[in-house]
């Protein structure tokens, strides 16, 4: 009897009708049995939000394209909700791989922490499932084809080799043809931040409101960053984990006098 084909769950944060998720689904069909569980509406920049205080619904969704018909649900929640609900209720069994994307726009440097695309893959990693996030470094339109090819190659290798517990891969693909790409680099997140400049406006009733705007600042001139790879025409693959502990600074913090001051016990 042939081995069962891998079950691959696909999600994203741009919403179930975004072009990137169709390109990704088409690229995953040759690798296994594909199910799509994605947000009904765009969920960009939701970070690792989950929906606790409200119910969510999962609508069976017509998901057709060059890939044929794929079983799909549109969920009224966040990317992390999609992965949790899919695994608990919607899938026939635990998936072998979760792939999130293909996001319209990069998710590199500090933006990883704001990214809904990455959060879907992170949630899978927390639940013990191998996962990838794939982003196409172009904000509007373009051709998802090269990103889909890269996604398929990295997904195939991930299915073959497996990832260590708790680690996922965050892949960013430059806006180039496959021929023009220089290759793939293993990278770390660049230190960076957004410097906000909120736009302050008045509504039709002359009441003020603010709209987030800002400038992205790369603070990192070191080697091997995701931004550097992308700027020089490489695919960036960053292994990501979700333990936020600053392990290197535990000993230093131990020199603070927290214990004697705070302890008033006997």
Q: Please, which of residues 55-74 interact with a copy of itself by CB under 8 A?
A: 55-58
Binding of residue 138 to a copy of itself (CB under 8 A) = no
Binding of residue 215 to a copy of itself (CB under 8 A) = no
Cβ proximity to a copy of itself: between 29 and 216 the closer is 216
> Which of 105, 98, 93 lies closest to 36, judged by CA?
98
- Cα gap 119→170, rounded to integer Å: 10
- Cα gap 118→240, rounded to integer Å: 9
- Cα gap 23→251, rounded to integer Å: 47
For residue 137, give every residue at least 6 positions away whose Cβ sits within 8 Å of its Cβ, in sequence order, or none. Answer: 105, 106, 108, 172, 173, 174, 175, 230
Place of tokens 């909700």: 81
Size of the site for a copy of itself (CB under 8 A): 92
Phi, psi of 18, rounded to the nearest 5 degrees: -70, 145
Give the one residue of 201, 222, 231, 232 binding a copy of itself; rule: CB under 8 A.
201
Site string for a copy of itself, 77-106 (x = CB under 8 A): ---xx--xx-xxx-----------------
Q: How far is the CB of 1 from a copy of itself (least distance, A)?
A: 30
Binding of residue 159 to a copy of itself (CB under 8 A) = no
Binding of residue 29 to a copy of itself (CB under 8 A) = no
Binding of residue 217 to a copy of itself (CB under 8 A) = no
Binding of residue 3 to a copy of itself (CB under 8 A) = no
């Amino acid at each position: 009897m042939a081995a069962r084909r891998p079950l691959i769950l696909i999600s994203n944060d741009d919403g179930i009708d975004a072009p990137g998720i169709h390109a990704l689904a088409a690229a995953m069909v040759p690798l296994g049995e594909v199910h799509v569980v994605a947000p009904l509406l765009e969920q960009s920049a939701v970070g690792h939000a989950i929906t606790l205080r409200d119910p969510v619904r999962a609508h069976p969704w017509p998901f057709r394209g060059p890939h044929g018909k794929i079983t799909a649900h549109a969920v009224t929640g966040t990317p992390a909700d999609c992965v949790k609900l899919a695994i608990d209720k919607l899938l026939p069994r635990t998936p072998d791989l979760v792939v999130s994307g293909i996001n319209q726009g990069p998710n590199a440097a500090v933006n990883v922490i704001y990214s809904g695309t990455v959060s879907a893959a992170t949630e899978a990693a927390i639940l013990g499932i191998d996962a990838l996030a794939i982003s196409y470094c172009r904000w509007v339109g373009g051709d998802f084809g090269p990103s889909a090819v890269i996604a398929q190659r990295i997904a195939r290798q991930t299915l073959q080799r497996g990832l260590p517990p708790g680690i996922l891969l965050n892949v960013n693909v430059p806006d180039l043809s496959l021929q023009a790409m220089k290759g793939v680099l293993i990278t770390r997140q660049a230190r960076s931040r957004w410097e906000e400049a909120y736009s302050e406006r008045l509504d039709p009733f002359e009441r003020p409101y603010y709209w987030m705007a800002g400038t992205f600042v790369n603070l990192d001139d070191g080697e091997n960053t995701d931004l550097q790879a992308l700027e020089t025409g490489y695919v960036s693959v960053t292994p990501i984990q979700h333990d936020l502990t600053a392990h290197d600074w535990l000993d230093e913090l131990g020199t603070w006098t927290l214990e004697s001051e705070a302890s008033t016990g006997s």
